[in-house]
Amino acid sequence: MRTNSRHRIVAAVAVTCALTLGATACGSPDPGADSAAKDVAAALEAGGKVTVWAWEPTLKKVAADFEKKYPKVDIELVNAGTNNKQYTALQNAIAAGSGAPDVAQVEYYAVGQFAIGKSLEELSPYGASGHDQAFTTGPWSGVKYGKGIYALPMDSGPMALFYNKKVFDRHGIAVPTTWDEYVEAARALHKADPKLYITNDTGDAGATTSLIWQAGGRPYKVEGTEIGIDFGDTGTAQYTGTWQKLVDERLLAPVTSWSDEWYKGLSDGSIATLSIGAWMPANFVTGAPAASGDWRVAPLPQWTKGAKAGAENGGSSLAVPKASKNKALAYAFVEYATTGAGATARVSEGTFPATRADLESQAFLDTPFPYFGGQQANRILADAARDVGAGWSYLPYQVYANSVFNDTVGKAYVSSTTLAQGLEAWRATSAKYGTDQGFTVAP
C-alpha cells in the first residue's frame, strides 16, 4: 500500500516534469550562480544545524571534523535506514512536507529517480559544476541527470576480482583473466570439491547491470523523458552467453549476498571469488575475519582477452533535498565531505575514493592490506577506477526497476527460463512502468 502511494507520487511528479520540460530543464532553477556561492560562505559564517541522513559509517569522523572547523555549525548525523529503507523514508518525508533532512545519502543508481521527482536541489549554482575534474568518470556521471548536477560523489566502486588464493592454490587453478577462463575455473573448482563454488549468485540487479556495463552493453538511454530500454546489444549477449553456462551447470552457490550464509562462505572459502566494487575490503575485514590472509585482489576478468574494460558497482553520493531549510549550509557540508580534507579523512577510514586526487596519492597506492596478505590492493583498484567504461546511464526509476529484478530475471536462477528471457521480461516490466509514469519509452 505504501509502495503504491509512493509510486503515485512519483507518477504525478514525472507527469508534471514531462509537461514543463519544454520550458525549463526539469528541476533546475537558476538563481544566479554567484549569489548562491556567496550564500554558502555566508551560511558557514552564520552557522546553524544540518541534519544528514546517511548510513555511511565514515561520515561520523567527517561530521566531527566539520564541527571543529566551523564551531557554529551543528551536524546531526541520522542513520535513517540503509538503501531502499532510507529512500522510502525520504519520499515519505518529502510527500508529507516536513521532516526531510538537509543532506541525504543517495546511491548513484537512485539519483535519477530523486532528481526527476524534483526532490533534489540542483547544485551547480552553489559551485558543484566547478568540481567536474575532481571526480572519476563513473561517479561523476552518476550524480548528473540531464544537464544538472544533483549530488556530489562520496565514494566509488570500480569492480575488481576478489579471490581466495588459498583455495585456488590448493587445487592448482590459475586466477582467471577472462570470463571464459572464469567459467573453466568454476568447473575445475566444483569438480575438485563439490562444496566449492566460484561465486554466489541468486540474481542481483546491481551485479548484473555492472557486468553488462563492463561487457560494453548500454541497455538504458535517457534523454529527458524519452527513454530507451534494450537488452538486445552485443554486450548484453556476451554477458548472458557466459553467465548462462554458470547457471546451467549449477556452478553458482545459491546464496544471497550479504546474508550470514554469504559471510560464512567467504570465511570458509566455499565462495571462492567475488566480482564486486572496490569498497569490499572493509567488509572483508569485519565480516570474514577468519579468512584473513586467504584473499587477494586481481583485475576483473575481461570479456575479450587483453582488453582493459571496467565498470562501477554500487557507490553513493550526498545530495541536498529541495525540502532542506538551509540549502547553502547543507551544500557546504556536502562539499566538505566529498572533496578535499573531508574526502581524504574518509579514505583513511576505509572508504574507496571517488576523487582523482585521493586515487592518485602515493600514500593511498602504497597502503598495504594485512587482510590481503600485505598486498597493495589499491594499485589494482585505482587502475580499475580509470578503466570504467563511459556512457552508462541508469533509468530515472532504477530503484523501482531493481525491485522487480527478482520477479523477472531472478526466475532464470530457479527455473528453465534463460537469462536472456528474464532480461526481456525485465525490459517489458520496466517499459510498462515507465509508460505509466508518463515517460516515452522506446522499445
HEC-encoded secondary structure of the chain: CHHHHHHHHHHHHHHHHHHHCCCCCCCCCCCCHHHHHHHHHHHHHHCEEEEEECCCCCHHHHHHHHHHHCCCEEEEEECCCCCHHHHHHHHHHHHHCCCCCCEEEEEHHHHHHHHHCCCECCCHHHCHHHHCCCECHHHHHHHEECCEECCEECCCCEEEEEEEHHHHHHCCCCCCCEHHHHHHHHHHHHHHCCCCECEECCCCHHHHHHHHHHCCCCCEEEECCEEEECCCCHHHHHHHHHHHHHHHCCCEECCCCCCHHHHHHHHHCCECEEEEECCHHHHHHHHCHHHCCCEEEEECCECCCCCCCECECCCEEEECECCCCCHHHHHHHHHHHHCHHHHHHHHHCCCCCCEHHHHHCHHHHHCCEHHHCCECHHHHHHHHHHCECCCCCCCCCHHHHHHCHHHHHHHHHCCCCCHHHHHHHHHHHHHHHHHHCCCEEEC
Nearer to another protein, 155 or 335 (CB): 155
Q: Which of residues 251-290 bind another protein (CB under 8 A)?
A: 258, 260, 263-264, 267-268, 277, 279-280, 282-283, 286-287, 289-290
Nearer to another protein, 20 or 82 (CB): 82
In the complex, what is the shortest distance from the CB of residue 98 to another protein, in angstroms, rounded to a whole number?
Answer: 5
The binding track of 315-334 with respect to another protein, each residue x by CB under 8 A or -, is: x-------------------
In the complex, what is the shortest distance from the CB of residue 260 to another protein, in angstroms, rounded to a whole number?
Answer: 5
The binding track of 57-86 with respect to another protein, each residue x by CB under 8 A or -, is: xx-------------------xxxxxx-x-
Q: Which of residues 350-389 bind another protein (CB under 8 A)?
A: 350-351
In the complex, what is the shortest distance from the CB of residue 387 to another protein, in angstroms, rounded to a whole number?
Answer: 20
In the complex, what is the shortest distance from the CB of residue 33 to another protein, in angstroms, rounded to a whole number?
Answer: 33
Nearer to another protein, 3 or 304 (CB): 3
- Binding of residue 293 to another protein (CB under 8 A): no
Q: Which amino acid is at 420?
A: A
In the complex, what is the shortest distance from the CB of residue 201 to another protein, in angstroms, rounded to a whole number?
Answer: 16
The binding track of 105-144 with respect to another protein, each residue x by CB under 8 A or -, is: ----------------------------------------
Q: Which of residues 85-104 bind another protein (CB under 8 A)?
A: 85, 89, 92-93, 95-99
The binding track of 4-33 with respect to another protein, each residue x by CB under 8 A or -, is: -x----------------------------
**Residues at the contact surface with another protein, assessed by CB under 8 A:** 1-2, 5, 53, 55-58, 78-83, 85, 89, 92-93, 95-99, 155, 157, 258, 260, 263-264, 267-268, 277, 279-280, 282-283, 286-287, 289-290, 314-315, 350-351
